[in-house]
């Protein structure tokens, strides 16, 4: 229910077109219907600033196809994350307009042009080559949500000169997503070099005492560079969502 439809309801009641009990019923969940619509997708975009996205992991091809078909019918753009290549292959036949980004394991369909709403550029920095899938997920997501992006890969702290050589690129970004596994030290170094928001993404890359990304996660939460915030392990998608909102502030 939009503000306009609420006014209409009240006027109808005033005119006596609807009885008090019916008005009462319609008004019960007002603040939420106030947002407006029956469509989950539109609703979320209004409320949270980004469209519904399909998390592909653990869903069958059938389930994903059913959701996609509904969204395609509404003319929405579609992003499916964490989609294995074999599932994507199956879908490509059903949705010829779909693009599969294999490094990022994401599938997108753009039925309408993506509106560029971001103010500046979102830069994605990754520590090692093994971290690239998570970085790529962040890049695909950020672009899907309407942002300019760039990236710098393989600039981990054990060869700090590689990062320092890219200082201009760091300085030019409006938000920086830093993706790192193992000890997760890169966000601290980046955070110390720039005056921009830094979103740290720990990855599950590593072995032994990396504990599937816990070491990197803890390192990032304890960053000595003030201003670094953190998302869940391997959550390139979430980092891009946060960067997208920041890029519109």
State both tokens at 12: 């109808």
Kindly give the residue spans of alpha helices, DSSP state H, lying in the chain. 3-14, 20-27, 30-33, 40-48, 61-73, 85-94, 132-144, 160-164, 167-172, 186-193, 214-221, 236-246
Rounded to a whole number of angstroms, the minimum distance from the CB of residue 113 to a copy of itself is 21
Residue 55, number of CB atoms within 10 A of its CB: 13
Which residue, 232, 42, 249, 41, is CA-closest to 137? 232
Let me know: does 233 contact 211? Beta carbons within 8 Å.
Answer: no
Question: Is the CB of 107 or the CB of 244 nearer to a copy of itself?
Answer: 244
Question: Is the CB of 72 or the CB of 245 nearer to a copy of itself?
Answer: 245
Sign (positive or negative) of CA dihedral 132, 123, 232, 103: negative
**DSSP, res 247:** T
Question: Is the CB of 94 or the CB of 221 nearer to a copy of itself?
Answer: 221
Please, how many CA atoms are within 13 Å of residue 233, restricted to the half-sphere of its CB? 18
Rounded to a whole number of angstroms, the minimum distance from the CB of residue 96 to a copy of itself is 27
Rounded to a whole number of angstroms, the minimum distance from the CB of residue 36 to a copy of itself is 10
Question: Is the CB of 95 or the CB of 162 nearer to a copy of itself?
Answer: 162
CA distance 82 to 106: 6
CA distance 207 to 81: 25
Let me know: does 85 contact 59? Beta carbons within 8 Å.
Answer: no
Rounded to a whole number of angstroms, the minimum distance from the CB of residue 48 to a copy of itself is 5
Question: Is the CB of 97 or the CB of 150 nearer to a copy of itself?
Answer: 150
State both tokens at 237: 């998608």
Rounded to a whole number of angstroms, the minimum distance from the CB of residue 84 to a copy of itself is 14
Rounded to a whole number of angstroms, the minimum distance from the CB of residue 30 to a copy of itself is 5
Question: Is the CB of 20 or the CB of 75 nearer to a copy of itself?
Answer: 20
Question: Is the CB of 52 or the CB of 110 nearer to a copy of itself?
Answer: 52
Torsion on CA atoms 160, 165, 171, 177, rounded to nearest 10: -50
Rounded to a whole number of angstroms, the minimum distance from the CB of residue 75 to a copy of itself is 21
């Amino acid at each position: 229910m939009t503000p306009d439809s609420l006014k209409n309801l009240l006027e109808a009641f005033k005119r006596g077109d609807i009885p008090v009990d019916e008005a009462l019923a319609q008004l019960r969940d007002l603040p939420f219907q106030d947002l407006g619509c029956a469509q989950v997708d539109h609703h979320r975009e209004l409320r949270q600033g980004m469209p519904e996205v399909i998390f592909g992991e653990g869903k069958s091809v059938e389930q994903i196809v059913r959701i996609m078909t509904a969204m395609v019918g509404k003319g929405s753009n579609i992003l499916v994350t964490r989609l294995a290549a074999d599932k994507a292959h199956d879908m490509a036949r059903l949705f010829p307009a779909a693009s599969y980004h294999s490094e990022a394991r994401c599938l997108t369909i753009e039925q309408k042009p993506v509106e560029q709403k971001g103010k500046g550029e979102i830069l994605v920095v990754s520590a090692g080559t093994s971290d690239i899938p998570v970085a790529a997920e962040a890049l695909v997501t950020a672009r899907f949500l309407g942002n300019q992006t760039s990236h710098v890969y393989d600039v981990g702290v054990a060869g700090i000169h590689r990062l320092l050589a890219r200082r201009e690129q760091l300085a030019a970004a409006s938000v920086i997503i830093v993706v790192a596994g193992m000890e997760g030290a890169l966000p601290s170094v980046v955070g110390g070099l720039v005056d921009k928001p830094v979103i740290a993404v720990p990855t599950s890359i590593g072995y032994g005492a990396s504990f599937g990304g816990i070491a990197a996660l803890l390192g990032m939460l304890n960053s000595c560079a003030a201003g670094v915030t953190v998302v869940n392990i391997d959550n390139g998608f979430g980092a891009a969502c946060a960067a997208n909102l920041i890029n519109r502030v």
